[in-house]
Amino acid sequence: MFENLSEKFDRAFKILKGQGKITEINVAETLKEVRKALLDADVNYKIAKEFTDKVKTQALGENVLTAVSPGQLLVKITHTELTALMGGQREELDLSGNPSIILIAGLQGSGKTTFSGKLANLLHTKQKKSVLLVAGDVYRPAAINQLKVLGAQIGIEVFSDEESKDPVSIAQRAVAHAKANGIKVVIVDTAGRLAVDEEMMSEIARVKQAIQPQETLFVVDSMTGQDAVNTAKAFNDRIDYTGVVLTKLDGDTRGGAALTIRAVVQKPIKYVGTGEKMEALDVFYPERMADRILGMGDIVSLVERAQENFDEEKARKLQKKIAKNQFSFNDFYDQIQQIKKMGNIKDLVGMIPGVGKAMKDVDIDDDAFKGIEAIIQSMTPDEREEPAIINGGRRKRIADGSGTTIQDVNKLLKQFEETRKVMRVMSSPGKMAGMMRGMPGMK
């Protein structure tokens, strides 16, 4: 989402490359480019100027240590200010109620219903909370059906009343139902409304007054750029929400909303939607987002995603198999499924420090593993467990069955064998050390 901004920041900091010290002239030149980058990302001019003025003041007040170049220092200061601009610290969801009530508001088409499903899924799977979804959009029958489909998909109960046209009554009865059944969290989806629609804005204000939610989240489509910020302000003036959710951050967005919405409404961004899958919802961490904007990756989020999909017992068994050189295509296939559960492949690659920049022009399809999976699925159980038995005839049959070529099959078998060797060596510290001693120039 921030590829263009990251690239422009990178170019701006190169102005200081090779400079022995920070001066008013070279800082001004660099920050002029930074300001242009922010404006291109659809950041409000006033906020962009205030941001670069703060960075300039700090940079000119710093003595550059001999171990730190002027460019590195400016990146550090910019990182600190970007983090502060986006809120500084992660803001937790308030789940103190019994039940905890979360009211969802936003424009038509901003992704409220999908977000409601994603949030229910996240609270249920990661925090082990019992959740009730409430279909409070009484104007769009498709919204009720959509929420029911999402609820069935993730195993969450949906409370609805297609006969009623009173969202206040529906929300109140849903909360009573949750209390009676010991449900811990109630998520109330509401109809999309425009800030200029007085009647609809009054309606959501009445819903909020009736159910007294712990959280009122404003869902906004980040692809609408600066308009998203303006709408967020209008809604906040009216319903005083507690947090913002940015959807469609995986799209072709310039990122201005993520950078400035906090500064304008003084309300934290709590979640960001990063794809269409129910798992594609991330807690918003300002510091990690600043890391990614400045091309530093986000290794903490990558590790967290890996841990969420990590099966300790399976990992122990796998380690033993690797040590005995018994790592098979069945194990390899399992590993691919775990990686796929972690999310969008290009997004994952972008979290690795330094790799995001190198891969910015590479198009990584979410179906990148499709061909490999097809080849493995076309193997017999014996072939998956013992690839050495795959002769010429078997390779042709596998290629025909997977819709690939013999060359594709050969390439996968070769890469698999090389991977297996490396994994076996790395599983044994003694062998690893021996291999390194055998290399020229290594002791």
Residue 376 neighbours by CB under 8 Å, 6+ apart: 329, 332, 333, 384
- Going through 100-224 in order, the beta strands assigned E by DSSP cover 100-106, 131-136, 157-159, 185-190, 215-221
Query: Residue 266 gets which letter from DSSP?
Result: -
Radius of gyration of the chain, Cα coordinates, nearest whole angstrom: 26
Q: Which residues pair with 282 in a beta bridge?
A: 272
Residue whose pair of structure tokens reads 């969801």 in the numeric block? 93
Q: Residue 149: what pLDDT?
A: 92
| DSSP code at position 133 | E
N-term to C-term CA, the chain: 45
Q: Is 46 exposed, middle or buried (0-12, 13-18, 19+ CB in 10 A)?
A: exposed
In CATH, what is the architecture of 3-85? Up-down Bundle (1.20)
| Tokens encoding 264 | 């304008």
Amino acid at 16: L
Given CATH 1.10.260.30, say whether it is the number of domain 307-437.
yes
**pLDDT tens, per residue, the chain with 443 residues:** 566 677 777 777 777 766 666 777 878 888 888 888 888 877 778 888 888 888 888 877 665 544 456 677 777 888 888 888 888 888 888 998 889 999 998 887 788 899 999 999 999 988 899 999 999 888 877 888 898 999 999 999 999 888 888 889 999 999 999 999 999 999 999 888 776 677 888 888 899 999 999 999 999 887 776 777 778 888 888 888 999 898 877 655 556 777 777 888 888 889 988 777 888 888 888 887 787 777 655 555 556 566 565 666 666 776 777 767 778 888 888 877 777 776 666 666 665 555 555 555 555 565 668 888 899 999 999 999 888 899 999 999 999 999 999 999 999 998 888 877 777 666 555 544 454 455 444 33
Residue 261 to residue 233: CA distance in whole angstroms:
8
Number of residues assigned to the chain? 443
Please list, residue by residue across 185-211, b when 16 or more beta carbons sit within 10 angstroms of its beta carbon and e when fewer do.
bbbbbbbbbebeeeebbebbeebbeeb
Kindly give, in sequence order, each residue whose CB lies less than 8 Å from that of residue 169, ignoring residues fewer than 6 positions away.
161
Q: Are 258 and 42 in contact (CB under 8 A)?
A: no
Q: What are the domain boundaries of the chain?
A: 3-85, 100-295, 307-437
User: The domain 100-295 belongs to what CATH superfamily?
Assistant: P-loop containing nucleotide triphosphate hydrolases (3.40.50.300)
Assess contact for 370 and 377: CB atoms under 8 A.
no
Strand partners, 136: 190
Peptide bond into 387 cis (omega under 30): no
Query: Rounded distance, CA 368 to CA 122, Å?
Result: 26
d(CA 407, CA 410): 5
